[in-house]
Amino acid sequence: MRIQATTRLGVVGVLLLAAVAACNNDLTVQPKSTITSANIFNDTASYRAFLAKLYAGLVVTGQSGPDGNPDIGGIDEGFSQYVRGYWQLQELPTDEAIIGWGDIGLPELNIQTWSSSNPFVTAMYSRIFYQVALGNQFLRETTDEKLAARGTSASLTTRVHQYRAEARFLRALSYWHALDLFGNVPLVDENFDISQLPKQATRTDVFSFVESELKAILAQLPTTKGGEYGRADQAAVNMVLAHLYLNAKVYTGTDRSTDARAAVEKVISSGAYSLDPTFRRMFSANNNTSPELIFAVPQDGVHTRTWGGMTYLVHAGVGGNMNATSFGIDGGWWGLRLRPETVDRYEGGAGGPDHRTSFFFTDGQTKTITDIGNFQQGIGAPKYTNVTTGGQAGSNATFPDTDYPMFRLADAYLVYAEAVLRGGGGDRATALGYVNAIRERAYGGAAGDITDAQLTLPFILDERSRELLWEGFRRQDLIRFGQFTDAGIWTFKGGAPLGKLTQSFRNLYPIPANELSANPNIKQNPGY
């Protein structure tokens, strides 16, 4: 999406925040920053600029364009980008994606053999807590007492109250990612004494914190679709709550399907969103115009350049006989392909009647994979593109204008259906209607409709993969259905060409080794 710097919460505003110190992977021990009320909050625009930095933390990786002054030290700057790191940890170890590169730590993600020193695991952990540290700093500097001491006007104080709610949303989002990926993690808010070493909170405690934060800020945010695109509103909060509750049995041992259904119902019943009649638009350079996107991470080829995010997702899926210019880019990176089990999940496979396979690329590609490093083994899936649905290339051939679609209506429909099937109340006929609405778009009519008898939990797991392919949900879904480690077999799982079971401790990633060295209060997850 092209961002107009004069009208949007432009991440160009982060230039005002170049004083933020880079992280050396010890943020939970001592979040370091040179931000003070003296050098940042000396004009009213600084509050908005700081909030821009918080949103930008999901996109950019440092203080100087795509690289050169990174937030996270010790790893290639592009590797440390938030969306890229999160996507890789949720997709690469699953039956959906495989990547052919040999960068240290990446092959281990393909085959579920990572260790506590894996640089990609470490980078994601560090990125999460960098976001948390920035959010905490913003909240410390925007209390009513500090605003009053600075003589802040009543109108600006009101705006800052909303900014604080958005900062708490972004912090809660990161803590949801932390508890999902790592389990028991340090829980540090704006009231924590940063001169002390934080203690490790249980996964249940982190869950409760995220839930309470999201519920507390709900009324302080714009109504559903009532704010600026790419910023948090009540629908974004309810989508995080819905996923938090849907996975609560995994996180806490307590089923919260009723709450998941209630949260997602609020999004659906708002009437603010509709299924996009053009499926491909949601993954194209004009996806900011889609009526289906609920919360997206905006990216722009001029103002938000990064080697992660959509730059990675667009380029890494292109290679072989594909023409890079047809995807609006200056070259493919020959990386990501589909594992064969996912291709077979669609009726008729690639080229079948399910139009969601329309972007599958088969020319010169084999479905089977015997050599992970060979890009032309594995069906190509250039789902994300830097071209609009009207055929116009993005503003930059290296850095796409395409936004990352974190939550969309089809996901909400499938959350509702799953919650109903798990005993969360609601209406089974409504759930069936939602699923068939998704499938009618996919098939161009009723040919793909299912019956009530076919609406089962295993079907929902498969349908989530078909509909939400490569959107960052698969690991989480497989764990919720008990199919990620000690059940479920797919190509190269566990390092075996035909796949093999792995140990269930890998349902969580390890706490990075350097975090354990820096803070004796932190204990490693079992099995590592």
Using alpha carbons, select from 188, 192, 138 the residue that is nearest to residue 165: 138
- Exposed, middle or buried, 524 (CB in 10 Å: 0-12/13-18/19+)? middle
Inform me whether the pLDDT recorded for 433 exceeds 80: yes
Rounded mean pLDDT, 421-443: 98
Q: pLDDT of 326-373, one tens digit each?
A: 999 999 999 999 999 999 999 999 999 999 999 999 999 999 999 999
Average of per-residue pLDDT across 236-257: 98
Give the global pTM.
0.94
Q: Does position 38 have pLDDT exceeding 70, yes or no?
A: no
Q: Which CATH number is correct for 11-280+509-518, 1.25.40.390, 1.10.3660.10, 3.10.180.10, 3.40.47.10?
A: 1.25.40.390
Question: Hunting for tokens 């993600």 — which residue is that?
Answer: 109
Phi-psi region of 328 (alpha: psi -120 to 50; beta: other; left: phi over 0): left
How many Cβ atoms sit within 10 Å of the Cβ of residue 523? 11
Distance (Å) of CA 505 to CA 94, 323, 513: 15, 42, 17
Inter-residue contact 211 to 198 (CB < 8 Å): no
CA distances for 33 relative to 137, 193, 411, angstroms: 8, 14, 37
pLDDT tens per residue, range 373-427: 999 999 999 999 999 999 999 999 999 999 999 999 999 999 999 999 999 999 9
DSSP 8-class letter at 220: G
Residue 435 has pLDDT above 70, yes or no: yes
Residue 32 has pLDDT above 60, yes or no: no
Is 355 exposed, middle or buried, given 0-12, 13-18 or 19+ CB atoms closer than 10 A?
middle
Give the per-residue pLDDT at 180: 99
| Cβ proximity of 485 and 112 under 8 Å | yes
What is the per-residue burial (b if ≥16 Cβ within 10 Å, else e) of 11-32?
A: bbbbebbeebeebebbbbbebe
Tell me what pLDDT residue 289 has.
98
Which pLDDT score is estimated for 37? 59
CA distance 212 to 494: 38
Confidence (pLDDT) at 252: 98
Is 333 in contact with 84 (CB distance < 8 Å)? no
As a whole-number percent, the residues of the chain with pLDDT over 90 amount to 87
Closest to 88 (Cα-Cα) out of 308, 297, 243 = 308
- Reported confidence tier of residue 78, pLDDT bands at 50, 70, 90: confident
Lowest mean pLDDT among 23-32, 87-96, 155-164, 225-234: 23-32
User: What confidence tens digit (pLDDT) does each residue in 88-105 have?
Assistant: 999 999 999 999 999 999
Average pLDDT over residues 176-205: 97
Q: Determine the Cα–Cα distance for residues 332 and 392; give it in Å rounded to an integer.
A: 18
* Strand ranges inside 224-313, DSSP E: 293-297
**Residue pointed to by tokens 């609006």:** 328
Tell me the pLDDT band of 3, cut-offs 50, 70 and 90: very low
Give the Cα separation of 518 and 329 in Å (integer): 42
What is the chain's mean pLDDT, rounded?
Answer: 92
Residue type, 491: T
The pLDDT value recorded for residue 415 is: 99
What confidence tens digit (pLDDT) does each residue in 147-157 have? 999 999 999 99
User: Given phi > 0 = left and psi -120 to 50 = alpha, else beta, which region is 226?
Assistant: alpha
Which DSSP letter does residue 60 get?
-
